[in-house]
Amino acid sequence: MLEVEDANLHYGAAQALRGVSMKAEPAKITCVLGRNGVGKTSLMRAIVGHHPLSSGIVRFEGREFGRRAAYDRARSGIAFVPQGREIFPLLTVRENLETGFAPLKRDHKTIPDHVFELFPVLNDMLGRRGGDLSGGQQQQLAIGRALVTRPKLLVLDEPTEGIQPSIIKDIGRAIRYLRDSAGLAIVLVEQYLDFCRELADEVYIMDRGEVVHQGPAEDLDRQDVRRHLTV
């Protein structure tokens, strides 16, 4: 469904991705791991169209994206939950969710029921400002907003960062539901290894802009694989 082939990405003279290839499939969770600054966010930004590749291909459902803009990719069914959540602090929870309507056709502009089933707190707080929510609630809001766009592929960049354990569990349950019941393809960038091990089907490990390991989640128990993740 999603294929990245031989991706290179630069910030000026600095190269952040070096020949990266990866895939993500429907009803599977693909985890991207690696230490700080190895290029995980850059890869996600290239997939969703926030930063252009210098060379290489991003293909979704058989179509090459080339230089297509982020909103166009959202319309094709890609949703992004960015690192740091980026919710609108002065908009209400409802208004934040409704920003997800942007890529939808007029008669699809509704909030799907499963958003409130997965995250009941959002229903309880619809009239509250986004900035008044806790970090964990904001993360649930960011995921909810992404689901409003009715994605086929959900890209999550470190959704557990700075979040309390009970909400991490809720987020894990939601991600599993989205894979198993909604059949979404999920790409998950994570630093929290146990969360990844519990959820992932396929794992990619990056180091210095390159993919240094690819394999099933069980590989994370191998010492030669783990060494890529230790400081």
**Which stretches of the chain bind ligand ATP, using CB under 6 A?**
11, 14, 16, 34, 36-42, 83
Side-chain-side CA neighbours of residue 180 (13 Å): 9
Shortest distance in whole angstroms from residue 35 CB to ligand ATP? 7
Output 11 or 90, the one with its CB closest to ligand ATP: 11
Reported as type and span, the H/E element at residue 124 is helix 120-124
What is the rounded distance in angstroms from the CA atom of residue 123 to the CA atom of residue 6?
43
H helix count then E strand count, the chain: 9, 10
Is the torsion defined by CA of 117, 103, 185, 82 positive or negative?
A: negative
Shortest distance in whole angstroms from residue 44 CB to ligand ATP? 8
Output 208 or 222, the one with its CB closest to ligand ATP: 208
What is the rounded distance in angstroms from the CA atom of residue 70 to the CA atom of residue 144?
18
Shortest distance in whole angstroms from residue 197 CB to ligand ATP? 18
Reported as type and span, the H/E element at residue 166 is helix 165-180
Shortest distance in whole angstroms from residue 40 CB to ligand ATP? 4
Output 95 or 207, the one with its CB closest to ligand ATP: 207
Output 39 or 49, the one with its CB closest to ligand ATP: 39
